[in-house]
Amino acid sequence: MKFLENKVNDINLAYIGGGSRGWAWNLMGDLALDEEISGTVSLYDIDHKAAADNKKIGNQLFKREEAKSDWTFEVSDSLKDVLKDTDFVIISILPGTFEEMESDVHAPEEYGIYQSVGDSVGPGGLVRALRTIPMYVEIAEAIKEFAPEAWVINYTNPMSLCTRTLYEIFPEIKAFGCCHEVFGTQELLAEMLYDLEGIKNIQRDEIKVNVKGINHFTWLDQAAYQDKDLFPLYEKFVDKYYETGFGEENEDYFSSQERVKFDLFKRYGLIAAAGDRHLAEFCPKNWYLKNPDQVEKWKFALTPVNWRKNDKAEKLEKSRALIKGEEEIELKASGEEGIRQIKAILGLEEFVTNVNLPNQGQIKGLPEGAVVETNALFSRNSVKPVTAGKLPDNIQALIERHVLNQETILKAALNKDKQLAFSAFINDPLVDIDLEQAEKLFNEMLKNTEEYLPGWEI
């Protein structure tokens, strides 16, 4: 890397999962909008054609006059090649296909288990983890051998277990997991200030928060705007919108009207800082996910995998149009912080944001080494977690069950231990069915993903 006049040129960025038709395009747009860094993005994907398509799309984008920086996109044929001489590694992969995810999400419905996302916890999150962990073992071993000094940014779910696997295999790795769910809660608090106080045009990072928990089940025990404590105002906001929900009626499978978030505040007194679709999956089944009618009552949505398949088909068509020049990537900020994080690690700024890292005491009372989500200070060649304090006992009891389950899942995946995996399966709060049914479902789901479980006795 060369530092010149407050700009950094010649950065090598490796993108594992570089054939992505969503995250990759967002990255391209964010890079094009930034004036301070330039370099090369090497794309690696098991779908080589998808990566090659993105190489064309990316290089076309940076020929446009609106691009404020200079990046070149290349395709690598192996992990070794993509990691050679790299400074940063981005991992954003789909573990398996949507066929496996269809089983993850919808097979449990035959047993009365409904999942709104199915990628982090619940039966779907567990089986997804079992096929993802071997992939992350391979990636971690490759980083250890070919790019041990590189900084690694993970976007793949299940976030906690992906990040945890990287550290289990390569303890000295410089990795962190990024998720935008807390950002959405900061934006909600900004909307609250406008709704109740008439304060306009607040940027989400002006809302200062203390973050503690695990990915997709994160909590705030402090929130402030300037010198104003937002908790008393949030209590009024919850009371105002508890029954009706806040915002427009759900427009798609990803929106909600915050009623789960409001209910958790009434139960526990802290602000749950993730989307309702994720939060519901960490709670006992009968709270929010007993059946589709109950989901509708709480004003969020079950996201069907068929929608994801259709979305993929639409993105394939868009990819063809981008390559032919019939469409262009719209240059607008994605809302992610990856580029800003890279710039801070390069020494161009310092800032604090929420990330997923092994617990070094930033959350007192949770196991050391388990991946937790708190704020961290980003500065030159440094990402230091900010001490968040202890969770209230009643919330910790909910979170600790998942933390310990995740440790069990990791051990089961590394040892190909079906019985250990099943013990984690039945310990999940959504798997509220009798043991015989649970075992039948578990075996069915493993059978549906066995291609990604070599060496398992299924």
Question: Can you tell me the mean pLDDT for 415-426?
Answer: 98
Instruction: Look at the block and give the residue holding tokens 């798609």.
Output: 252
Residues 149 and 257 in one domain: no
Instruction: Give the pLDDT score at 73.
Output: 98
**3-state class (DSSP) for residue 248:** coil
- d(CA 367, CA 388) in angstroms, rounded, equals 14
Burial environment of residue 411 by CB neighbours within 10 A (0 to 12, 13 to 18, 19 or more): middle
- d(CA 277, CA 301) in angstroms, rounded, equals 7
pLDDT tens-digit series, residues 94-112: 999 999 999 999 999 999 9
CB 170 within 8 A of CB 151: no
**Residue 216 annotated in ligand binding:** yes
Q: In the listed set 161, 178, 195, which residue is the last one of a domain according to the structure? A: 178
Instruction: Give the pLDDT score at 70.
Output: 96
Residues 75 and 219 in one domain: no
- d(CA 223, CA 128) in angstroms, rounded, equals 34
Instruction: Give the pLDDT score at 155.
Output: 97
pLDDT tens-digit series, residues 431-450: 999 999 999 999 999 999 99
Residues 221 and 368 in one domain: yes
Residue 139 gets the label, from left (phi > 0), alpha (psi -120 to 50) or beta, of alpha
pLDDT for 123 beyond 70: yes
Instruction: Look at the block and give the residue holding tokens 């993850």.
Output: 104
**3-state class (DSSP) for residue 436:** helix
Range of the domain at 49: 2-108+117-178
Question: Can you tell me the mean pLDDT for 250-279?
Answer: 94
Instruction: Give the pLDDT score at 253.
Output: 84
The phi and psi torsions of 177 (rounded to 5 degrees) equal -105, 140
Residues 411 and 282 in one domain: yes
Does residue 245 belong to any structural domain of this protein?
Answer: yes
pLDDT for 363 beyond 70: yes
- d(CA 81, CA 49) in angstroms, rounded, equals 17
Radius of gyration of the chain (CA): 22
Residues 148 and 196 in one domain: no
Q: In the listed set 139, 163, 178, which residue is the last one of a domain according to the structure? A: 178
pTM over 0.85, yes/no: yes
- d(CA 270, CA 41) in angstroms, rounded, equals 41
Does residue 321 belong to any structural domain of this protein?
Answer: no
Q: How far is CA 403 from the centre of its chain?
A: 16
Q: C-alpha distances in angstroms, 42 versus 9, 370, 397?
A: 15, 31, 43
pLDDT for 265 beyond 70: yes
CB 35 within 8 A of CB 68: yes
Instruction: Give the pLDDT score at 5.
Output: 59
What distance separates the 2 farthest-apart alpha carbons in the chain?
67
Residues 357 and 431 in one domain: yes
Compute the mean pLDDT over every residue in the chain, rounded to the nearest whole number: 96
Sequence-distant (6+) residues with CB within 8 A of 44 are 14, 15, 16, 17, 18, 51, 75, 76, 77, 78, 79, 81, 82
Instruction: Give the pLDDT score at 249.
Output: 79
pLDDT tens-digit series, residues 278-287: 999 999 999 9
Residues 26 and 84 in one domain: yes
CB 153 within 8 A of CB 178: yes
Instruction: Give the pLDDT score at 168.
Output: 98
Instruction: Go through 440-455 and write b for each residue having 16 or more CB atoms within 10 A of its CB, e for each that does not.
Output: ebbeebbebbeebbee
Residues 251 and 400 in one domain: yes
Question: Can you tell me the mean pLDDT for 290-313?
Answer: 95
CB 197 within 8 A of CB 230: no
**3-state class (DSSP) for residue 172:** coil
Residues 150 and 220 in one domain: no
Residues 45 and 60 in one domain: yes
- d(CA 307, CA 323) in angstroms, rounded, equals 24
Instruction: Give the pLDDT score at 2.
Output: 61
**Residue 179 annotated in ligand binding:** yes
pLDDT tens-digit series, residues 30-47: 999 999 999 999 999 999
Q: In the listed set 137, 162, 178, which residue is the last one of a domain according to the structure? A: 178
- d(CA 366, CA 357) in angstroms, rounded, equals 13
To 10 degrees, the CA torsion angle through 259, 129, 172, 359? 30
Domain holding 21: CATH number?
3.90.1820.10
pLDDT tens-digit series, residues 49-87: 999 999 999 999 999 999 999 999 999 999 999 999 999
Question: Can you tell me the mean pLDDT for 318-342?
Answer: 93
Number of domains in the chain: 2
Task: Please tell me which residue, 3 or 60, carries the higher pLDDT value.
Answer: 60
Residue 222 gets the label, from left (phi > 0), alpha (psi -120 to 50) or beta, of beta
Task: Please tell me which residue, 308 or 251, carries the higher pLDDT value.
Answer: 308
Sequence-distant (6+) residues with CB within 8 A of 91 are 16, 17, 136, 139, 152, 153, 154, 155, 156, 162
180 annotated active-site: yes
Residue 248's pLDDT band, with cuts at 50, 70 and 90, is confident
pLDDT tens-digit series, residues 136-186: 999 999 999 999 999 999 999 999 999 999 999 999 999 999 999 999 999
CB 428 within 8 A of CB 123: yes
Among 48, 106, 180, 278, the one annotated catalytic:
180
Report percent pLDDT > 90 for the chain. 94
Residues 358 and 455 in one domain: yes
pLDDT for 90 beyond 80: yes
**Residue 162 annotated in ligand binding:** no
pLDDT tens-digit series, residues 376-390: 999 999 999 999 999
β-partners of residue 356 are 177, 373
pLDDT for 4 beyond 70: no
